[in-house]
Structure 1
Amino acid sequence: MFLRTESFKEFLRFYPVVSALVGIHFALWLLADFLQLGFAVDLKQWGIGVNVLVLNGEYWRLITPIFLHAGFMHAVFNSFSLVLFGPALEQMLGRVRFIVMYLAAGIAGNIGTFIVNPDAYYAHLGASGAIFGIFGVYLFMVLFRKHLIDQANAQIIIVIFALGLFMTFTRPNINVLGHLFGLIGGFAIAPAILKNARPFSLWQVRTRHSNRDSDEISFNPNRWKKRRFGRGGIGKYVLWGIIIFLALFALVNRSL
């Protein structure tokens, strides 16, 4: 579920929304931060969330920070998280509901920052609130939709949740309110968007996108089950969860 076994081309074809979001992250960084093109720099300044400017009627700043980042490592960290945890949810929800969830969680994080943060000139940007919204949906699954997530992946989500909160409250320059309200937003919208959702299945994804390839159509789903849930399967998932978060923690230490 959280281990990416697709090729690059398959990833782009199977998960177009996640791919597009990552592309936007790096395109905006390239134009505004690396190349420093005038229109892109102006666009970034126009989109940063600033409480006093929102108060003055620039309400688009509750949306635009979701797509902007403070630098390359900031964009890498959030994009890495999105690539790890977004694809399964995009497949389970479908493109439209995934986009709705992602934007709703990100906006919830920005609204929470605007309402609760007392600093009128507080500025923020980044996709972290929306990504914490993804975690919020997974957390809802673990608690109330257990048929959508197996035990091994549920354990990984709990580790994600605990470490995510730990890093939120212990690292400097973190928009704590954005993280918390993004998480709440994802958790709150989960009952609606998970209606009729089915568990993630890479076999179903491959079958759906391979109608012109008879070999792919006849692909045996039990092969994937053996690979994922064979001897030591749960232990491998927990191990991969630890490895993933060690990598995430290293990226945070380098980027902040």
Structure 2
Amino acid sequence: MFIRTESFKDFTRYYPIITGIVFIHIVLYLLIVLPFFPGGLIFERLAGVNLYIMEGELWRLVTPIFLHSGFPHLLFNSFSLVLFGPGLEHILGRKSFITLYLSTGILANLATLFLKPLTYTHVGSSGAIFGLFGIYLAMIFFRKEMLSRENTQVVLAIVVIGVIMTFVNANVNVTAHIFGLLAGLILGSFAIERGRELTSSFQRITKRTLHSSGGPKKWSPTSIMLAVLIFLALIGLLSR
């Protein structure tokens, strides 16, 4: 479920919502870092600044979900979305997926607004990413049949490591991570009722993709989990 074997063309066809979100991540990042664009102005207008939100700039509850402060930040969040998002885009359906993704991100930003100082500034899709983890937790708690034992172990390991890194790393919006996770768990518990049929559809797509790519890659669930954890650890070091 978390192994990506598709070609780029197949990935964009099967998961257009995730493709679109990552595309927006990259475009906004390039607009900020390339010297011939007014990157500073773009960042200032789109970043989440609690004071400006309180003054009526409500778009800042949404735009930080797509904005990142550096390449490691962009890489980690986009990688996480590509790794954990495809299953949910098919299990939930495209409309429900984007609705939940944005809802968990906005709720994480609202928690940041009410619990952080007015001068607090934040960017990043981490709250929405943790919302995806929360949706997977809802499946584990309320619809165990939707995930295999191996996938359940991977999700639980990633959630535990993610929460630990949230409190260990500097310059992390702890409020957004925790409330994004809780929002995903709560909202996801209502959204997974139609999951069985869509899960079967996702499995059929995965089998077709594996067949067209010459069969599954030789990655065990343990090696996948280890690779992801190493990646997370490296990103944690880079983000300090």
What runs of 5+ residues in structure 1 fail to find an aligned partner? 208-215
Give the 3 Å change call, closer, same or farther, for CA 200–77 of structure 1 in structure 2.
farther
- CA-based RMSD of the aligned residues comes to 2.3
Cα distance per residue 1:85-143 (max 9 Å; x no partner)? 011111111110000010001001100101111x2101000000000000000011111
Residues 168-207 of structure 1 mapped to structure 2, 5 A cutoff? 168-198=166-196, 199=199, 202-205=202-205
CA distance, structure 2, for counterparts of residue 33 and residue 151 of structure 1: 42
Alignment CA distance shift 1:201-1:167 (3 Å)? farther
2: CA distance, partners of 1:166 / 1:255? 14
- Contact 2:91 2:202 survives alignment (8 Å): no
Q: What are the superposed Cα offsets for residues 159-216 of structure 1, whole Å, 9 maximum, x if unpaired?
A: 0111011000000000000101111111111122212113365552268xxxxxxxx6
- Counterparts of 2:110 and 2:67, CA distance in 1: 16
Q: 1:28 to 1:36 in 2, by over 3 A?
A: farther
- The residue number in structure 2 matching 1:245 is 229
Aligned mates of 1:249, 1:23 — CA distance in 2: 25
Match of 1:70 in 2: 69
Alignment of 1:115-194 (within 5 A): 115-117=114-116, 119-194=117-192
The share of aligned pairs that are identical, in percent, is 40
Alpha-carbon offset, residue 45 of structure 1: 1.1
* Distance of aligned partners of 1:162 and 1:193 in 2 relative to their CA distance in 1, 3 Å threshold: same
1:100 aligns to 2:99 (yes or no): yes
Given that residues 139 and 189 in structure 2 are in contact (C-alpha distance below 8 angstroms), is that contact kept between their aligned partners in structure 1? no
Give CA deviations for 1:52-92 in whole Å, capped at 9, x if unaligned. 11111111111110010001221111001111101111111
Contact kept? 1:141, 1:148, Cα under 8 Å? yes
C-alpha separation in 2, matches of 1:179 and 1:99: 18
Q: Which has the larger radius of gyration?
A: 1
Matches within 5 A, 1:33-52: 33-35=33-35, 37-38=37-38, 40-52=39-51
Question: Post-superposition shift, 1:19?
Answer: 0.7
Which ranges of structure 2 fall in alignment gaps of 5 or more residues? none
Q: Does the alignment pair 1:19 with 2:3? A: no
Q: Which amino acid aligns with 2:5?
A: T
Q: How many residues align?
A: 236
Deviation at 1:34, TM superposition (A): 2.7
After TM superposition, give the deviation of residue 36 of structure 1 in Å: 5.0
Q: Does the 8 Å CA contact 1:85/1:134 hold for their aligned counterparts?
A: yes
1:44 Cα offset (Å): 2.2
Worse-superposed segment, 28-37 or 105-114: 28-37
In 1, Cα distance between equivalents of 2:79 and 2:145: 27
Specify whether residues 206 and 152 from structure 1 end up closer, same or farther in structure 2 by C-alpha distance, changes over 3 A only: closer
Measured after TM superposition, the shift of residue 144 of structure 1 is 1.1
**What TM-score, normalized by structure 1, do the two folds share?**
0.86
